[in-house]
Amino acid sequence: MSDQKVNSERRTLIMATSVVGGAGVVAAAVPFVASLSPSERAKAAGAPVVADVSQLKPGEKMVVKWQGKPVWVLRRTPEMIASLAKVEEAGKVSDPDSEKSVQPEYAKNKARSIKDEYLVIVGICTHLGCSPSDKLKTGAEEGMAADWQGGFLCPCHGSQFDLAGRVFKAMPAPTNLDVPPYKFLSDTSILIGDDSKEA
Ligand code: FES
């Protein structure tokens, strides 16, 4: 047998072993998933999640995953909150009162939130679903226009949003970023995905 043939057979054996090993991992995972009933699986995927904001400093943002989506919690500074009126006065946002956008009744206000200090929003662009990037600082520091008041920029087609997730005029995104259902369990704990009255 030539050296070349031996090497070729050895390679085939190694590949076959790897595939069997991989199949073993998959086989081990399947019984666990299969052990959940369809309703349990649906419940687990859609279950509310708690965002602990006790360590979140003013000006910082955290991301939690809810229903497979990134939900942002931004702790806005007083300056960030004040920027919302500036953006609106300059006539930059296309739906300032979020009439055409998705949010619960309690978020139908200028800050689009229960408490002005905390923005809770789905971090998915309403154009084609990319995740916008943070451009939280004002002015040219973030590579934005000199009069930029802070917000978010979608890297895919350039939609810009203010610090309440309101889309600017003449952007590809048709509506503001969605606000999910949520409620405060305490001053430092937010339940995302459930806004029922029960405690
Ligand atoms: S996906 Fe955001 S601008 Fe197109």
The 10s digit of each residue's pLDDT in 176-198 is 999 999 999 999 999 999 998 87
Q: What are the C-alpha distances in Å from 157 to residues 39, 130, 133, 154, 171?
A: 38, 9, 12, 6, 8
Query: Which atom of ligand 1 sits closest to the CA of residue 130?
Result: 1
State residue 59's pLDDT score: 97
Q: Which residue numbers are catalytic?
A: 157
Query: Which atom of ligand 1 sits closest to the CA of residue 172?
Result: 3
State residue 25's pLDDT score: 40
Compute the half-sphere exposure of residue 136: CA atoms within 13 Å on the CB side of its CA. Answer: 16
- Determine contact, residues 86/138, Cβ cutoff 8 Å: no
- Residue 173, ligand 1, Cβ within 6 A: yes
* Ligand 1 midpoint to CA 18 (Å): 40
- Determine contact, residues 84/162, Cβ cutoff 8 Å: yes
State residue 36's pLDDT score: 61
pTM of the model: 0.78
* Ligand 1 midpoint to CA 13 (Å): 47
User: Which residue positions in the chain have pLDDT lower than 70?
Assistant: 1-44, 199
How far apart CA 125 and CA 169 sit, in angstroms, is: 15
State residue 40's pLDDT score: 67
State residue 141's pLDDT score: 81
**92-107 b/e with 16+ CB inside 10 Å = b?**
bbbebebeebebeeeb
State residue 140's pLDDT score: 84
